[in-house]
Structure 1
Amino acid sequence: MKISIKILVVLLLVVTLFACEKEKTDISLERDGTLYEVADQVSFYYPKDFQLNVNNENQKDVRFTKNDEMYIYATIIDDTDNVLNELPQLYGGQLEEEGAIDVYYYKEVIPSGIECYQFTGTYQASGMKFVQMVYFTEEASYIYSYQAPENVYDEQSGVALQYLESLTVHH
């Protein structure tokens, strides 16, 4: 009797664990997304149901929005003499200066074959969480990011990462 109760409890815990685990939603970038190209230098996909923010013409970035969610692409020209391997730490510090908290980053190779840094954090003033793919070169930094309110971010960040990992820098 004691053994069957223990087995029942273990099975219940295992079922609960699997039920609580988030399912990863795989997407097809070509089917579910739209290709965006920045001249012949950069390309990436963004979700088809997001709209290009046309009120952003004079800015240095491209924004795609849907409700409170936003994908942002920017190229920042680097005319400094900073050392390439120090750029991730400097960029993390810049995010913190702009009001981001809990900023973390790590290096990864994305499907296009480039080594990017994935940054995560929260903009304290707005409460928006973000994830960014950043590719550093000695000439420029290429930043593709996603941000949303915490509840939306937690639900959509897995899909957002698949779009962010579509970043391709042609050089």
Structure 2
Amino acid sequence: MSDDVRFQRLLDAHSPVLWRIAGAYARTRPDREDLYQEMLLQVWRALPSFRSEATERTWLTRIAFNVALGAVRQRDVRRTVDAPAAVDALATDAPDPLATTDRADALGRLYAALRRLPEADRALVVLSLDERSHAEIADVLGLSVSNVAVRLHRAKARLTTLVSDPVLP
């Protein structure tokens, strides 16, 4: 299978989680789009070296979180000029769930609350919202399963408090 076909298959199966991660780490639509595109670029670059030591889903999620955390640390998400044309086309054609759903206000509040959580808690909650098991979350984040359970419980409690904050947009 060619890298182009494999890349497209990965995106068909997993682009929603990339958008969720982008929404949790970037505030504006242009920043989410830039972050999403950077995730696609990094997946494209790493694809030839994927050795199936983890599931494709876990591997892709690790890359997405690494990109998101790097962007947060840099305080700006830059577009890479040498992105393959396929990455550019997919990034602009893929729908941003926050911009296209009827639930945009509720999702906007959720993502605003998520962004107020510490980075590690954000990752836990986003993976949980993606219906990942504690074992899968532990694998992606390099934690023990019991640590995931405890930290996720605390993060969800903080998130519940933040979502109900009337000051939140």
Shorter-chain TM band = under 0.3
What's the TM-score once normalised by structure 1's chain length? 0.23
Relative to its length, the structure with more helix (as a share) is 2
What's the TM-score once normalised by structure 2's chain length? 0.23
Say which one has the larger Rg. 1
Relative to its length, the structure with more strand (as a share) is 1
More relative contact order, 1 or 2 (CA 8 Å, 6+ apart): 2
